[in-house]
């Protein structure tokens, strides 16, 4: 196979690329299992979120999460398109990628989130009106905010904020920790005023889009905040800050417009608010029997990226058996399935040998072994055995946070919610031994 063709399919299997609704690789996973009433992800997620927003006369604030690469961003982009439909919801949608506004490796606060929302909304409204977003930021609310920050009493004896222009305030906060702290300190002393100003400005913008675009109002979709997990030296601090923002301070995130925030998956164990969690494709049932509809969905996901004739060139005459092996190995996690395909294409001789295929799978297993500490083996075994994340103490909570955030534990939904460990985790000797011990104890109890 020539290099140009390999490069084409290698990039069609980019595991970190969210797909726009019109992308030919986009697959409606939630359509699989619809006829039987057992969808492979439980429900149609875009439809569920759309109805909750479209039917409400009052602004809705929703929290949504999913593992990176589970299809969450793709579903939110699909949702954004659906909500714009003129003869149905007819809403003005603002899609925000948190990576453009927030330092996702450091602590976050309500100030950062609300500033990013308003900055993105002002920019998007201006762009849709055919105006320059940069000018709108310079002349509007952020000019007033910039002047206020420089004039506050708490800042009287300090140097000015030293920002090239008011319109760059939010973007400078992302990259300059000292400025971010300075703004937070000022706002915290006048927090109620800041929140009120943001809400007042959003109300004005909501009325503006109603007039200008003859729509029913605005919805903000704030994506990629689930990536708020810090680095190895500050992981807990970043997650704690996210818990405070979306848990204790969640009321400040309710806006006069509809809004959806994505949040770190680990927060589902920490906050009491309702969180919609996009599950994996159910390729096995709770008893670990293969689920034909789930496997079919995963197979079609592959076909959308690589047609069968090309796939046969990569994998040989035993293509379907090899593909099923990769599907089952992925645990129904879309990103890992696509990532393994990309590794297949990265080889130089085709069709690849069994040893190369096994090396690709083993390489994935080794990545998981590096993130699982020995003191997590028994807890993981209990998840594998009970299909439930039992949290008995703070140690369990810390383990659950780490395992969920690093997709060592996968979440599924059909008639009920359940969990299982990733197939690579199940093969770790210490986890295998702990599972065997639990099963032996259970057999002993059943006999007794």
Position 27 in a domain:
no
Same domain, 358 and 382: no
Give the model's pLDDT for residue 53.
Answer: 95
Question: What residues contact 438, with CB distance under 8 A and at least 6 apart?
Answer: 381, 382, 385
Instruction: Determine, yes or no, domain membership for 155.
Output: no
- Examine residue 261 and state whether it is found in any structural domain, yes or no: yes
Domain count, the chain: 3
Residues 228 and 115 in one domain: yes
Three-class secondary structure of residue 444 per DSSP: helix
Same domain (yes/no): 123, 201: yes
**Rounded distance, CA 309 to CA 247, Å?**
50
125 and 76 in a common domain: yes
CATH number of the domain within which 66 lies: 3.40.50
Of the candidates 267, 230, 205, 252, the residue with the CA atom closest to the CA atom of residue 63: 267
Strand 258-262 to 417-421 pairing: unpaired
Same domain, 264 and 288: no
Give the list of residues 6+ apart from residue 213 with CB closer than 8 angstroms, or none: 92, 128
**β-sheet bridge partners, residue 218:** 92
**Tens of pLDDT along the chain (448 residues)?**
899 999 999 999 999 999 999 999 999 999 998 888 889 999 999 899 999 999 999 999 999 999 888 999 999 999 999 999 988 899 999 999 999 999 999 999 999 999 999 999 999 999 999 999 999 998 888 888 888 887 775 555 555 667 777 888 899 999 999 889 888 988 888 899 999 999 999 999 999 999 999 999 999 999 999 999 877 778 889 999 999 999 988 999 999 999 999 999 999 988 988 999 999 999 999 999 999 999 999 999 999 999 999 999 999 999 999 999 999 999 999 999 999 999 999 999 999 999 999 999 999 889 888 889 999 999 999 999 999 998 888 888 889 888 988 899 999 997 789 999 999 999 999 999 999 999 888 877 766 6
Q: How far apart are CA 42 and CA 32, in angstroms?
A: 10
Q: Which of 369, 395, 424 is the last residue of a domain?
A: 369
Residue 416: predicted pLDDT: 86
- Residue 97 within any structural domain of the chain: yes
Instruction: Please report whether residue 400 resides in a domain.
Output: yes
Buried b or exposed e, range 244-282, using 16+ CB within 10 angstroms: bbbbeebebbebbbbbbbbbbbbbbebbeeebbbbbbbb
Same domain for 256 and 305, yes or no, is: no
Give me the sign of the Cα torsion angle 315, 320, 322, 327.
Answer: positive
Residue 20 DSSP code: P
| End-of-domain residue from the set 230, 252, 277 | 277
Q: Which tokens belong to 77?
A: 């982009």
Q: Provide the residue range defining the domain that includes 305.
A: 3-12+281-369
If asked whether residues 357 and 395 sit together in one domain, one would say no
The phi and psi torsions of 367 (rounded to 5 degrees) equal -60, -40
Q: Are residues 213 and 260 in the same domain?
A: yes
- The answer to whether residue 175 sits within a structural domain is no
**Residue 407: exposure state from Cβ atoms within 10 A (0-12, 13-18, ≥19):** buried
Residues 304 and 215 reside in one and the same domain: no
Instruction: Identify the CATH number of the domain in which residue 401 sits.
Output: 1.10.10
One DSSP character per residue, 217-254 reads -EEEEEESGGG----TTTHHHHHHHHHIIIIITGGGG-
């Amino acid at each position: 196979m020539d290099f140009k063709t390999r490069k084409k399919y290698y990039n069609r299997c980019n595991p970190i690329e969210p797909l726009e609704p019109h992308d030919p690789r986009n697959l409606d996973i939630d359509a699989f299992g619809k006829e039987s009433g057992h969808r492979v992800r439980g429900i149609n997620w875009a439809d569920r979120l759309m109805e909750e927003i479209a039917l409400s006369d009052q602004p809705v604030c929703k929290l949504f999460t999913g593992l990176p690469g589970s299809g969450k961003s793709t579903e939110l982009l699909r949702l954004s398109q659906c909500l714009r439909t003129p003869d149905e919801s007819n809403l003005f949608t603002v899609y925000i990628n948190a990576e453009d506004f927030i330092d996702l490796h450091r602590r976050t606060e309500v100030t950062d989130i609300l500033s990013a929302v308003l900055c993105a909304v002002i920019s998007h409204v201006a762009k849709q009106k055919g105006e320059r977003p940069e000018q709108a930021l310079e002349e509007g609310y952020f000019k007033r905010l910039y002047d206020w920050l420089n004039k506050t009493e708490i800042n009287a004896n300090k140097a000015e904020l030293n920002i090239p222009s008011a319109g760059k305030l939010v973007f400078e906060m992302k990259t300059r920790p000292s400025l971010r702290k300075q703004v937070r300190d000022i706002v915290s002393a006048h927090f109620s005023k800041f929140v009120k100003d943001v809400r007042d400005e959003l109300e004005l913008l909501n009325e503006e889009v109603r007039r200008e675009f003859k729509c029913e109002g605005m919805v903000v979709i704030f994506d990629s905040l689930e990536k708020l997990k810090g680095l190895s030296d500050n992981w807990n601090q970043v997650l704690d800050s996210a818990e405070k923002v979306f848990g204790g301070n969640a009321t400040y995130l309710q806006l006069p417009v509809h809004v959806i925030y994505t949040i770190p998956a680990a927060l589902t164990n920490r906050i009491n608010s309702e969180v919609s969690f996009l599950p994996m494709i159910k390729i096995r049932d709770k008893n670990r029997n293969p689920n034909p509809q789930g496997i079919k969905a995963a197979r079609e996901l592959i076909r959308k990226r690589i047609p069968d004739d090309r796939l046969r060139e990569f994998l040989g005459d035993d293509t379907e058996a090899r593909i099923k092996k990769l599907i089952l190995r992925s645990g129904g996690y879309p990103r890992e399935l696509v990532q393994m395909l990309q590794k297949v294409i990265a080889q130089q001789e085709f069709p690849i040998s069994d040893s190369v295929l096994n090396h690709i799978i083993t390489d994935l297993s080794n990545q998981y072994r590096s993130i699982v500490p020995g003191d997590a083996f028994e807890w993981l075994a209990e998840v594998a055995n009970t299909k439930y994340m039992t949290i008995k103490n703070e140690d369990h909570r810390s383990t659950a946070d780490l395992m969920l955030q690093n997709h060592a534990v996968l979440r599924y939904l059909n008639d009920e919610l359940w969990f299982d460990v990733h197939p690579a985790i199940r093969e770790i000797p210490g986890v295998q031994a702990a599972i065997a011990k639990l099963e032996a104890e259970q057999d002993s109890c059943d006999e007794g």
